[in-house]
């Protein structure tokens, strides 16, 4: 992509670099791109990465080139996004509108794999290992009887059992006080559960639910955080989706920020399932207590 737009972009970039706003990109050895993306020399690497970022802001195809250039720019885009604490998910999606494409979740997966190598597949393996531990504790505490009376574990398939174990987690933890727009409120356990994972039977129900949710967030002047929705006539026939702003992707995507009312539930998933710790983690006695209970439940099985 060449022309007046890029020339203007590079002129501005040189000014920013001179002033110290822009930092040097990651070394050329970390660049893994599709064969259609060519780099003249290592000396031009940083300029090429900036070209790629600019290209990604204004182009949405061909898709193989999109994937290649997105992967080549992870070491620049992610640190900038993390350093700018005022940038919202919505603003990031506006900057890179390519994320709104139906395959945009693949770009988020590239970023997740860059941040947390070898963690992309761990969730499905670990939740299947630990689902019975979670369900035994849920059974003992009466969560299944009270909140999921129609679900018979004995007739659920393996994936459905894993989903049910996830849905019980908000009911195994106390609710937390949430602060939004300088106002404090205490959500109910049902509100926490619905902000964590929402179950509906049809795609039409999902669309109506998302529209209501967007209106609610708009009325309270809150940013609409990512939401996972599972859709299907019963637990043995489910499809999963994640909604970020106005985009809905298949369930394989990763999240950066969670709805505040269920942030402690997602922190449990992050630590107990993914075994991940980040600089943004806040210490939570609630999360630690449930992890301890689950570990004790696991030990009692042996």
The proportion of the chain whose per-residue pLDDT surpasses 70, expressed as a percent, equals: 79
Q: How do residues 9-57 score in pLDDT, each as one tens digit? A: 455 555 545 454 444 445 433 344 433 344 334 445 567 888 999 999 9
Whether pLDDT at 141 is above 80 = yes
pLDDT at 8: 53
Question: The tokens 């061909």 sit on which residue?
Answer: 62
Q: How do residues 99-126 score in pLDDT, each as one tens digit? A: 988 888 899 889 988 888 877 778 888 8
Residue 107 pairs in a beta bridge with none
CB 242 within 8 A of CB 249: yes
Q: What is the largest CA-CA distance in the chain?
A: 68
Q: Find the mean pLDDT for residues 136-158.
A: 93
Among 24-38, 71-85, 216-230, the range scoring the smallest mean pLDDT is: 24-38
- The model's pTM: 0.70
pLDDT at 34: 39
Q: How do residues 229-281 score in pLDDT, each as one tens digit? A: 999 999 998 888 888 877 888 764 333 445 677 888 888 888 888 888 777 77
SS3 of the chain: CCCHHHHHHHHHHHHHHHHCCCCCCCCHHHCCCCCCCCCCCHHHHHHHHHHHHHHHHHCCCCHHHHHHHHHHCHHHHHHHHHHCCCCCHHHHHHHCHHHHCCCCHHHHHHHHHHHCCCCCCHHHHHHHHHHHHHHHHHHHCCHHHHHCCCCCHHHCCHHHHHHHHHHHHHHHCCCCCEEECCEEECCCHHHHHHHHEEEECCHHHHHHHHHHHHHHHHHCCCCCCCEEEEECCCCCCCEEEEEECCEEEECCCCCCCCCHHHHHHHHHHHHHHCCCCCCCCCCCHHHHHHHHHHHHHHHHHC
């Amino acid at each position: 992509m060449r022309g007046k737009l890029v020339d203007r972009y590079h002129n501005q970039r040189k000014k920013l670099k001179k002033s110290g706003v822009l930092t040097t990109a990651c070394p050329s050895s970390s660049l893994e791109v599709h064969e259609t993306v060519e780099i003249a020399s290592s000396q031009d690497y940083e300029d090429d990465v900036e070209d790629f970022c600019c290209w990604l802001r204004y182009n949405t195809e061909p898709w193989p080139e999109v994937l290649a250039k997105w992967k080549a720019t992870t070491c620049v885009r992610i640190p900038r996004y993390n350093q700018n604490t005022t940038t919202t998910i919505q603003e990031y999606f506006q900057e890179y509108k390519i994320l709104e494409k139906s395959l945009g979740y693949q770009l988020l997966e590239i970023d997740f794999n860059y941040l947390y190598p070898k963690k992309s597949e761990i969730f499905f393996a670990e939740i299947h290992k630990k689902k019975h531990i979670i369900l035994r504790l849920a059974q003992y505490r009466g969560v299944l009887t009270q909140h999921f009376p129609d679900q018979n574990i004995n007739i659920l398939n393996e994936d459905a059992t894993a989903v049910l174990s996830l849905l019980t987690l908000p009911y195994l933890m106390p609710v937390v006080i949430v602060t939004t727009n300088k106002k404090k409120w205490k959500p109910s356990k049902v509100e926490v559960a619905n902000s964590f994972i929402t179950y509906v039977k049809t795609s039409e129900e999902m669309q109506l639910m998302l529209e209501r949710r967007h209106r609610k967030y708009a009325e309270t002047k809150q940013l609409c955080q990512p939401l996972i929705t599972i859709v299907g006539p019963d637990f043995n026939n489910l499809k999963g989706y994640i909604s970020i702003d106005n985009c809905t992707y298949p369930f394989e995507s990763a999240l950066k920020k969670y709805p505040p009312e269920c942030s402690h539930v997602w922190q449990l998933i992050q630590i107990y399932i993914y075994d991940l710790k980040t600089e943004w983690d806040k210490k939570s006695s609630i999360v630690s207590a449930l992890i301890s209970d689950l570990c004790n439940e696991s030990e009692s099985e042996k």
